[in-house]
């Protein structure tokens, strides 16, 4: 059962990133609570990917704070030393890339891909590593006999599921996802969404998902942030923002979606 | 249990010249535990709008909405999510789920969310689907392929899976045959008996008469300007 | 100009100082790859330019030099490097491991145990043990700096997953003094236990411009898994010439009919044993 705590897992305040005169993202702030999924939507160039990069520590923002709950206290991840930040990326945090090949080692077997994070945090028993990798491949519906195959031999959907297994095997508390269902067939997308929903619930995961697909956020995200020209124009409960949008841009975005 | 006071709703259409549509003004009602209240009024009078505001799906412009002592109007998303998980159930007219997720899991999901063990949750989901005459052959299939009536019964099963203290029902008996309508009415009676506060929209007059203790006419909350 | 105006052992004074500084730094930080400005040598890359520069910077006139290639003193590479130093440094040479003060080697550690007054110089083709899985130098340097060595075990994991056992037979990665993961150059893993030695061990990679080192008695641990411990492996056959069973064997094909025999790869070790009267199956009576 998810317990209600009074400390957010992630607290973001005033995150701003400029590319010269152009604004990447400006003055973004939110709280993310344990077990919550936050969706960030907007069209290409709205700054949603820039924001995600700033949050995940891939890009250094010009201003702002990204506070993460560590051992009870909020700690500014932007002020962590590089070794601490890298350790956090291997343990408490995970990042699922849009293109699986950016997040996988294509020359290493599926089992090795999943096992890498375990070995990175000190696992040195081959049998244990293999058993845990097999368990995770099973959880993302990859057959055990594919364990020693390389991801190059996998379909797009399988690669994406493998990337998710590789990221979640160390039990992170926060996952960043950049268009996790982009480039996949609709039917494959649905399976992946269901898988993610189940994992989020079972593991009490929190997630920040960037996507341009409103259908994806409706099914996956508890809360939604709408971005335009680097600014957050509206945020709130996902279904409220989609069904009763207050800002003109959100109304335009919602009304532009084809209904099926 | 459900408490609305002077609730106002208007829609501002920014992409249509900023047109403002006034829907509700001064909407006030209470639903006590164990009570079932029907919302009535002409089509477009704002019945569904009021229900959605209580559910947190629409924002209220003014006024106060509270469910089980928790304020919904102006609440942060986290509060509304917790309320929906633990306290406030909602059976909408349409089922909205991840495609290809088995019907049984769709029904069991609210139970898993409040911490039921997976097996127990599935057993309860199976019992509800059986009661609502959804053939067991369909349980492992995604409901998006089902007929309208079957989808509605899956939706109802999902809404009644967890014993919410408060329930919102939007046309729960629409598109159901007599047998299944009877089952739904029985479910409502049982919910009332355990003390649930229920607010519903029933176009089906007989059904309304069978389960509702009183009616509230939304027409009374028509904005003056409109 | 007089002969004395020239520097000893081929390298100009500035280069020698630069390389010696790199060697000292390497000895001070065991296993750490020290970048150095590798010079052109009168031989192609891959023929031991790194080892030659380290040897040239190390030699003093009193030294006695031994050069081996795959354990043998008489192969082209070994002979040409030995001749190079005979001509440019005028040092004495030897084939006897025990008599040498500096030994330059390619792909082997001599069987005869080394002692404290000796320096072993390795020729190294690829100094970066993480290169197999991480092509970016910026990233591998960071991984060394932060001791992020999980990737090294991924390589061993892949070995076991594919072959049922750790199949890496040479250049088997080691951890030095509990800190840096190091490529021991392409020596057979049979030689890995000998990396813990009373001699000074210097590693030179000419093309990659790196020098690293193991001071005497440095702790060197071959990486492994708890349930797949490191196994140095050994040949199933005794040497056909000297009958040794404790040395590393080369397989020699003797005819077109599949005939073969196993010989000590260390030629000095083998001939010393034969002189002492040890005999194998193929020895002339």
Give tens-digit pLDDT for B18-45.
889 889 998 999 999 999 999 998 888 8
State the pLDDT at residue A2: 41
The CA distance from C181 to the nearest CA of chain A, in Å, is 14
Domains in chain B, CATH or no CATH each: 30-59+76-221 (3.40.50.300)
Residue B16 is predicted with a pLDDT of 86
Complex ipTM: 0.88
Nearest CB to C161 within list A109, A116, A117: A109
Q: Answer yes or no: is A1 within a domain.
A: no
The total number of structural domains in chain A stands at: 2
Backbone phi, psi, residue C282, to 5°? -100, 0
Single out the residue in A126, A151, A171 at which a domain terminates. A171
Select from A2, A33, A251 the Cβ nearest to the Cβ of B14: A251
Chain A: give the shortest CA distance to residue B57, in Å.
4
- Tell me the nearest-neighbour CA distance from A223 into chain C, angstroms: 36
| Residue contact B57–A190, C-beta within 8 A | no
What is chain B's mean pLDDT, rounded? Answer: 91
The fraction of chain B above a pLDDT of 70, given in percent, is 99
The pLDDT of C56-83, averaged and rounded, is 95
Q: Are there at least 3 beta-carbon pairs closer than 8 Å between B and C?
A: no
pTM for the predicted model, two decimal places:
0.85
Clarify whether residues A62 and A105 are in a common domain: no
Pairing of strands A22-32, A10-19: antiparallel
Neighbours of B78 (CB within 10 A): 18
Report the neighbours of A using a cutoff of 3 or more CB pairs below 8 angstroms: B, C
* Cβ atoms of residues C50 and C39 within 8 Å: no
Same domain, A202 and A125: no
pLDDT score at C107: 94
CA distance C107 to C129: 16
Average pLDDT, stretch A85-103?
91
Pair (A76, A119) in one structural domain: no
**Domain C3-222 grouped into CATH 3.40.50.300:** no
In a domain, A58, yes or no: yes
Of C142, C150, C157, Cβ closest to residue A126: C157
What pLDDT does residue A3 have?
45
Cα–Cα distance, B112 to B116 (Å, whole number): 5
pLDDT bracket for residue B225 (50, 70, 90):
low
Q: What is the mean pLDDT of chain C?
A: 93
Burial (CB < 10 A; 0-12, 13-18, 19+), residue A4, is exposed
pLDDT score recorded for residue B42: 87
Say if residue A162 is in the same domain as residue A64.
Answer: no
How does pLDDT run across B211-224, given as a tens digit for each residue? 999 999 988 888 87
Q: Answer with the one of A120, A149, A171 that is the final residue of a domain.
A: A171
Instruction: Give residue limits of the domains in chain C.
Output: 3-222, 234-285
Quickly state the pLDDT bin for C1 (edges 50, 70, 90): very low
Domain ranges, residue A130: 101-171
Q: In the prediction, which pLDDT does A5 show?
A: 58
Confidence of residue A165 (pLDDT cuts 50, 70, 90): very high
C111 pLDDT above the threshold of 60:
yes
Please state whether at least 3 CB pairs lie below 8 Å between chains A and C: yes
Which residue, A153, A171, A189, sits at the end of a domain?
Answer: A171
Which phi and psi angles does C70 have, rounded to 5°? Answer: 55, 35
Q: Which residues of B touch A197 (CB under 8 A)?
A: 98
A160/A65 same-domain check: no
The closest CB to that of A125, out of C146, C162, C227, belongs to: C227
Quick: pLDDT tens for B92-128.
Answer: 888 777 777 899 999 999 999 898 999 999 999 999 9
Whether A86 and A108 map to the same domain: the answer is no
Give the DSSP letter string of chain B.
-EEEEEEEEEEEETTTTTEEEEEEEEEEEEE-TT-EEEEE-STTSSHHHHHHHHHTSS--SEEEEEETTEE-TT--HHHHHHHHHHTEEEE-SS----TT--HHHHHHHHHHHTT--HHHHHHHHHHHHHHTT--GGGTTS-GGGS-HHHHHHHHHHHHHHS--SEEEEESTTTT--HHHHHHHHHHHHHHHHTT-EEEEE---HHHHHHH-SEEEEGGGG--S--
> Looking at the structure, do residues A61 and A167 belong to the same domain, yes or no?
no
Statement to judge: residues A79 and A182 lie in one domain: yes
Active-site residues of C, by number, are 31, 239, 242, 264, 270
Q: Degrees (nearest 5) of the Cα angle B8, B13, B19? A: 85
> Distance, in angstroms, between C69 CA and closest chain A CA?
32
CATH number for A205: 3.40.50.300
Q: Which residues of A touch C142 (CB under 8 A)?
A: 82
Distance CA C53, CA C123 (A): 10
Give the CA count within 13 Å in the CB-facing half-sphere of A121: 18
A2 found inside a domain = no
Predicted pLDDT of residue C2: 54
Instruction: Search chain A and give the residue with CA nearest B49.
Output: A244
Condensed to tens digits (0 to 9), the pLDDT of residues B188-217 reads: 999 999 999 999 999 888 889 999 999 999
């Amino acid at each position: 059962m998810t317990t209600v705590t009074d400390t957010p897992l992630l607290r973001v305040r005033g995150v701003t990133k400029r590319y010269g005169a152009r604004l990447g993202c400006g003055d973004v702030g939110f709280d993310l609570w344990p077990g919550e999924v936050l969706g960030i939507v907007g069209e290409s160039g709205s700054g949603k990917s820039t924001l995600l990069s700033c949050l995940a520590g891939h890009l250094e923002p010009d201003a702002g704070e990204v506070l993460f709950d560590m051992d009870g206290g909020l700690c500014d991840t932007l002020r962590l030393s590089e070794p601490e930040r890298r350790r956090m990326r291997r343990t408490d945090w995970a990042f699922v890339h849009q293109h699986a090949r950016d997040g996988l080692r294509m020359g290493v077997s599926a089992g090795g891909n999943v096992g890498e994070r375990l070995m990175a945090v000190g696992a040195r028993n081959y049998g244990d590593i293999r058993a845990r990798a097999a368990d995770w491949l099973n959880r993302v519906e990859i057959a055990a006999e594919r364990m020693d195959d390389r991801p190059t031999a996998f379909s797009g959907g399988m690669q994406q599921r493998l990337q998710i297994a590789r990221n979640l095997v160390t039990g992170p508390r926060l996952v960043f996802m950049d268009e996790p269902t982009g480039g996949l067939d609709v039917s494959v997308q649905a399976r992946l969404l269901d898988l993610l929903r189940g994992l989020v619930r079972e593991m009490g995961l929190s997630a920040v998902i960037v996507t341009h697909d409103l259908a994806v956020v409706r099914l996956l995200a508890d809360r939604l942030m709408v971005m335009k020209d680097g600014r957050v124009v509206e945020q709130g409960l996902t279904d409220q923002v989609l069904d009763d949008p207050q800002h003109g841009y959100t109304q335009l975005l919602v009304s532009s979606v084809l209904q099926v | 249990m459900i408490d609305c006071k002077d609730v106002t709703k208007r829609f501002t259409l920014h992409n249509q010249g900023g047109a403002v549509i006034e829907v509700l003004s001064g909407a006030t009602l209470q639903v006590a535990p164990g009570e079932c209240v029907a919302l009535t009024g002409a089509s477009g009078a704002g019945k569904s709008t009021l229900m959605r505001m209580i559910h947190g799906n629409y924002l209220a412009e003014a006024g106060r909405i509270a469910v089980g002592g928790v304020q919904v109007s102006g609440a942060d998303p986290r509060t509304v999510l917790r309320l929906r998980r633990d306290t406030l159930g909602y059976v909408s007219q349409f089922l909205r789920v991840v495609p290809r997720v088995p019907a049984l899991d769709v029904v069991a999901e609210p139970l898993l969310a409040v911490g039921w063990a997976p097996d127990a949750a599935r057993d309860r989901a199976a019992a509800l689907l059986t009661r609502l005459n959804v053939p067991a052959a369909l349980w492992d299939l995604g409901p998006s392929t089902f007929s309208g009536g079957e989808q509605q019964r899956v939706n109802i099963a999902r809404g009644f899976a967890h014993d919410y203290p408060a329930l919102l029902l939007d046309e729960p008996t629409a598109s159901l045959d007599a047998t299944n309508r009877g089952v739904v009415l029985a479910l409502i009676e049982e919910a009332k008996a355990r003390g649930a506060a229920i607010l519903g929209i029933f176009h089906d007059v007989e059904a309304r008469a069978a389960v509702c203790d009183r009616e509230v006419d939304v027409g009374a909350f028509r904005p003056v300007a409109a | 100009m007089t002969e004395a105006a020239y520097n000893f052992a081929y390298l100009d004074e500035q280069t020698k100082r630069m390389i010696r500084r790199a060697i000292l730094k390497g000895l001070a930080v065991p296993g750490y790859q020290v970048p150095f400005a590798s010079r052109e040598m009168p031989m192609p890359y891959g023929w031991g330019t790194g080892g030659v520069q380290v040897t040239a910077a190390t030699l003093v006139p009193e030294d006695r030099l031994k050069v081996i290639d795959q354990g043998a003193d008489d192969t082209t590479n070994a002979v040409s490097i030995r001749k190079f130093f005979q001509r440019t440094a005028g040092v004495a040479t030897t084939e006897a491991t025990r008599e040498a003060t500096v030994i330059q080697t390619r792909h082997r550690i001599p069987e005869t145990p080394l002692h404290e007054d000796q320096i072993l110089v390795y020729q190294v083709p690829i100094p970066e043990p993480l290169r197999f899985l991480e092509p970016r130098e910026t990233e591998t340097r960071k991984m060394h700096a932060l001791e992020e060595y999980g990737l090294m075990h991924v390589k061993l994991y892949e070995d076991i997953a594919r072959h049922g056992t750790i199949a890496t037979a040479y250049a088997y990665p080691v951890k030095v003094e509990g800190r840096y993961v190091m490529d021991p150059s392409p020596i057979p893993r049979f030689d890995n236990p000998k990396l813990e030695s009373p001699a000074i061990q210097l590693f030179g990679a000419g093309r990659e411009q790196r020098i690293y080192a193991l001071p005497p008695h440095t702790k060197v641990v071959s990486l492994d898994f708890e349930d797949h411990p490191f196994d140095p492996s050994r040949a199933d056959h005794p040497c056909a010439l000297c009958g040794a069973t404790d040395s590393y064997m080369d397989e020699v094909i003797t005819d077109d009919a599949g005939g073969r025999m196993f010989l000590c790869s260390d030629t000095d070790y083998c001939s010393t044993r034969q002189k002492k009267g040890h005999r194998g199956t193929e020895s002339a009576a």
